[in-house]
Amino acid sequence: MRYDFGSDNTAGMAPAALQALVEANEGYARAYGADHVSARAADLIRQRLDADAEIRFVFSGTAANAIALSMLAWPHEAVLAHHAAHICTDETGAPGFFGSGVGLIGLPGFSGKIDPLALTAALDEPEVGHRQPPAALSLTQSTEYGTVYSEEELRHLIEPAKLKGCGVHMDGARLANAAAAGFDLTQIARLGVNVLVFGGAKAGANCTEAIVMFDKSLARRVDNRLKQAGQTASKARYLAAPFLGLLESKAWEQGAAHANQMALRLAEGFALGSPFVLAHPVEANAVFVRMPPEAHRRLNDLGWACYRFDDGSVRFVCSWATADAAVDELLEAVRGL
């Protein structure tokens, strides 16, 4: 089975990330995040975002999201998110686990973007003692369906949430792809996001993500919270080093730009040379195609890993490592179905 398009998680580490990990292994360094590698990587993230923030590196995106949300909502409260968001569909109740009962309220919207009217309706729901009221809004950039929120679209979601007193979390597992598509990272803090998960794994790092707390009050006792959650690395430089390599070399942006370019190449091939139609706009590194179950099964039988998504479409994801030749081979296989 070939996993070229199964997920951007199936690609290995980018050379710059791997080299930085090797270099961080030399000699000795202070433990538990007090090392020079972690400090330098955090500074580079702050520079990309053009914002002051407290930053911690953790082992997974699921933990990063769930811990971030636990900072914004009490156990008797809930988080508003798109119903297809990763926190709603793929994290096995982690927000509720880390948040000691925090709930999730799924909202509709085309192609992974929350419908502003649906958000307004949820925010205007009367508060009663029998259900969890919303205390936070979670946004995904780029979305689970490979689309990218514009600054204006985000503002129309964040402002009403803030007016209701909600905190705002952004899941940036594929933030690099959104940036490569033209999204201005420096607007995240200015738009009012309280806490951001700055993606590493899907951008070419190992299994590491960064929690970025623009609201520094959230960082009070955050190290205690991370330790209790099993997310404090004694040799923390190994979590930070891949970020350092990717950001210093600009491979974080360049790899994402390449992934987006490969997705466009793949989408054009589907549009021009196959009977299968695109299910969503292709704005980042993912391509979703309407494909009957039998055709999907035959493609899998030919050795191409691709998965049916929540809306019934079949997803193909490109990464920093996706090759032109692999795109062409996949399209050739599709044309022969």
> Are 256 and 236 members of one domain?
no
Tell how far CA 89 is from the center of its chain: 13
> Are 204 and 82 members of one domain?
yes
**Domain range for residue 301?**
251-335
User: By C-alpha distance, which of 216, 217, 325 is closest to 269?
Assistant: 325
> Are 188 and 325 members of one domain?
no
6 falls within a domain: no
> Are 202 and 304 members of one domain?
no
pTM of the model: 0.97
> Are 203 and 146 members of one domain?
yes
Is 13 within 8 Å of 24 (Cβ atoms)? no
User: By C-alpha distance, which of 219, 245, 222 is closest to 232?
Assistant: 222
Quote the CA–CA distance of 6 and 307 in Å, as a whole number.
7
What CATH number does the domain containing 159 carry? 3.40.640.10
For residue 273, what pLDDT is reported?
Answer: 80
Is 78 within 8 Å of 132 (Cβ atoms)? yes
For residue 52, what pLDDT is reported?
Answer: 97
8 falls within a domain: no
> Are 110 and 164 members of one domain?
yes
Q: Is the dihedral of CA 55, 254, 66, 190 positive or negative?
A: positive
> Are 233 and 286 members of one domain?
no
> Are 207 and 275 members of one domain?
no
What CATH number does the domain containing 315 carry? 3.90.1150.10
Full pLDDT tens readout for the chain, 337 residues: 999 999 999 999 999 999 999 999 999 999 999 999 999 999 999 999 999 999 999 999 999 999 999 999 999 999 999 999 999 999 999 999 999 999 999 999 999 999 999 999 999 999 999 999 999 999 999 999 999 999 999 999 999 999 999 999 999 999 999 999 999 999 999 999 999 999 999 999 999 999 999 999 999 999 999 999 999 999 999 999 999 999 999 999 999 999 999 999 999 999 998 899 999 999 999 999 999 999 999 999 999 999 999 999 999 999 999 999 999 999 999 999 9
> Are 149 and 69 members of one domain?
yes
> Are 115 and 164 members of one domain?
yes
9 falls within a domain: no
> Are 214 and 229 members of one domain?
yes
148 falls within a domain: yes
For tokens 């995240």, the residue is: 188
The structural domain count of the chain equals: 2
User: By C-alpha distance, which of 47, 25, 53, 54 is closest to 37?
Assistant: 25
> Are 28 and 137 members of one domain?
yes
Quote the CA–CA distance of 263 and 253 in Å, as a whole number.
15
Structure tokens at 60: 């997974």
Q: Return the amino acid letter for 186.
A: T
Quote the CA–CA distance of 112 and 110 in Å, as a whole number.
6
Quote the CA–CA distance of 265 and 67 in Å, as a whole number.
37
